[in-house]
Chain A
Amino acid sequence: LAKTTQPISMDSYEGQEVNITCSHNNIATNDYITWYQQFPSQGPRFIIQGYKTKVTNEVASLFIPADRKSSTLSLPRVSLSDTAVYYCLVGERANNLFFGTGTRLTVIP
Chain B
Amino acid sequence: GAVVSQHPSWVICKSGTSVKIECRSLDFQATTMFWYRQFPKQSLMLMATSNEGSKATYEQGVEKDKFLINHASLTLSTLTVTSAHPEDSSFYICSARDPRGRSYEQYFGPGTRLTVT
Contacts and interface: CB of A to CB of B under 8 A. Distances in A.
A2 B95 CA distance: 21
Contacts of B26: none
Band of interface residues on B? 20 to 34
A96 interface: yes
Contact of B111 (A43, A93, A96, A101): A43
Interface stretch (B13-21, B69-77, B81-89, B99-107): B99-107
**How would you classify the secondary structure of chain B's contact residues: helix, strand, loop or mixed?**
strand
B111 A42 contact: yes
Contact of B113 (A41, A99, A100): A41
Nearest to A92: B104
A105 B106 CA distance: 22
**How would you classify the secondary structure of chain A's contact residues: helix, strand, loop or mixed?**
loop
Contact of B103 (A38, A94, A97, A101): A94
A13 to B, nearest CB: 24
Contacts of A38: 44
Given A45-B108, A96-B106, 19 more contacts: A34-B104, A38-B44, A41-B91, A43-B94, A43-B108, A43-B109, A44-B106, A44-B108, A46-B105, A46-B106, A46-B107, A49-B105, A87-B44, A93-B103, A97-B34, A97-B46, A97-B49, A98-B46, A100-B43
5 contacts: A41-B111, A43-B93, A43-B95, A87-B44, A97-B49
